[in-house]
């Protein structure tokens, strides 16, 4: 089984390589692809050094799986070329997520939506993944009517540029190549993505649209996205109104039984999820589980996950594992 990462030298691409190594995915030939400025550089994978090659070069090798992490423009332009040679593309950008012919997949929730011949598969937005990992088992049991979510998103969501700006400001240095229109150190910015219709941002609209596509189109959802000066992962304060009433003990049991979820909910001992704890872990952590007494049948949750792991690299690798395990990829 031959696999390539397109965008292998980027922040998420390097994390994908690490996850592939950790999970020991069955790969015979690995190809690292990046932009022209990285061609010829070297990248390590399983103790071997690989020369970074161009996207046209890897097309000639006809890999079985291509994981794209090079941005929406590249994905929109080049993914179809891989699909035409029966290579399964797992795309980490927003390019294909809302295409009716492309499955948008969180393997624990809707892996079965992938059918043979779906040669382009979309990885959801990082904030969507951790949100729906927690919402899915609760929706199946109680039926979700409405969700209000506020996200507190790490600078790692803006790639190396976001980290560079934060560290430069923290060191009292200046950098011309900024990720944000304002200072991020010692600050919060209620703005991620671009402002679009009705003064919402594209990141906020993604949460709505992707929840509808993956979970249920009838769930009413509104979001506020905030960029925060941390690098461990994204956090979400979530208020859920259900169709049916719930039992808190059962809510905790359902969340704890969901693959990929870890319940951290012992407030009396100051135990609850935090980005500093979630960093470099694959699980989605849920805590501060409590009834909302201001509204019937309503629940509050606090959800934290490493946006570079389960929010991007790990979810993409899990899709690749699903393709292999279900014999979508056969030599």
User: pLDDT per residue over 213-223, tens digit each?
Assistant: 999 999 999 99
CA distances from 266 to 135, 281, 286, 313 (A): 20, 20, 11, 29
Closest to 166 (Cα-Cα) out of 152, 150, 182, 151: 182
Between helices 159-170 and 11-23, what is the axis angle to 10°? Answer: 110
Please state which of the four CATH numbers 3.30.360.10, 1.10.510.10, 3.40.640.10, 3.90.660.10 is assigned to the domain occupying 127-306. 3.30.360.10
Superfamily assignment of 2-124+312-325 in CATH? NAD(P)-binding Rossmann-like Domain (3.40.50.720)
User: What is the predicted pLDDT for the residue at 331?
Assistant: 57
Instruction: Please answer whether residues 86 and 66 qualify as being in contact, where contact means their C-beta atoms are separated by less than 8 angstroms.
Output: no
Q: What is the pLDDT of residue 174?
A: 85
| The one catalytic residue among 50, 139, 191, 234 | 234
Q: Which of 126, 139, 182, 191 is catalytic?
A: 126
Q: Note the pLDDT of residue 170.
A: 95
pLDDT (tens place) for every residue of the chain, 331 residues total? 999 999 999 999 999 999 999 999 999 999 999 988 889 899 999 999 999 999 999 999 999 999 999 999 999 999 999 999 999 999 999 999 999 999 999 999 999 999 999 999 999 999 999 999 999 999 999 999 999 999 999 999 999 999 999 999 999 998 888 999 999 999 999 999 999 989 999 999 999 999 999 999 999 999 999 999 999 899 999 999 999 999 999 999 999 999 999 999 999 999 999 999 999 999 999 999 999 999 999 999 999 999 999 999 999 999 999 999 998 987 5
CA atoms within 13 A on the CB side of 48: 10
For the entire predicted model, the pTM comes to 0.96
Domain ranges of the chain: 2-124+312-325, 127-306
126 among known catalytic residues: yes
Residue 147 CA, chain-centre distance (Å), reads 19
Quick: pLDDT tens for 174-221: 888 899 999 999 999 999 999 998 999 999 999 999 999 999 999 999
Tokens 């007494």 correspond to 293
pLDDT at 219: 98
Question: Do residues 131 and 207 touch, judged by C-beta distance below 8 A?
Answer: yes
Written as six digits, the tokens of 251 are: 């809510």
Question: At 7, phi and psi to the nearest 5?
Answer: 100, 35
């Amino acid at each position: 089984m031959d696999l390539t990462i397109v965008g292998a030298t980027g922040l998420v691409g390097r994390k994908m390589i690490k996850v592939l190594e950790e999970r020991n995915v069955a790969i015979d030939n690995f190809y690292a692809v990046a932009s022209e400025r990285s061609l010829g550089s070297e990248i390590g994978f399983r103790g071997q050094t690989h020369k970074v090659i161009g996207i046209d070069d890897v097309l000639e090798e006809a890999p079985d799986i291509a994981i794209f992490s090079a941005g929406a423009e590249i994905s929109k332009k080049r993914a179809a070329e891989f699909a035409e040679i029966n290579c399964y593309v797992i795309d980490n950008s927003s390019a294909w997520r809302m295409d009716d012919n492309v499955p948008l997949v969180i393997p624990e929730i809707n892996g079965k939506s992938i059918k043979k011949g779906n040669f382009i598969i979309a990885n959801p937005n990082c904030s969507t993944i951790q949100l729906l990992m927690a919402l899915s088992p609760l929706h199946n049991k109680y039926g979700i009517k409405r969700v209000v979510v506020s996200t507190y998103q790490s600078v790692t969501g803006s790639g190396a540029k976001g980290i560079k700006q934060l560290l430069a400001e923290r060191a009292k240095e200046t950098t011309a190549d900024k990720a944000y229109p304002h200072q991020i150190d010692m600050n919060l910015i209620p703005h991620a993505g671009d402002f679009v219709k009705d003064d919402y941002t594209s990141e906020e609209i993604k949460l709505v649209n992707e929840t509808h596509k993956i979970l249920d189109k009838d769930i009413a959802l509104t979001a506020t996205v905030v960029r925060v000066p941390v690098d461990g992962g994204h956090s979400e304060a979530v208020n859920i109104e259900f169709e049916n009433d719930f039992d808190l003990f059962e809510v905790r049991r359902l969340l704890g039984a969901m693959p990929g979820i870890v319940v951290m909910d012992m407030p009396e001992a100051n135990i609850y999820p935090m980005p500093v704890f979630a960093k470099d872990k694959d699980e989605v952590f849920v805590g501060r589980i409590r009834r909302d007494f201001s509204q019937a049948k309503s629940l509050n949750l606090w959800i934290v996950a490493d946006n570079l792991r389960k929010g991007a690299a790990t979810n993409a690798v899990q899709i690749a594992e699903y393709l292999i395990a279900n014999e979508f990829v056969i030599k």
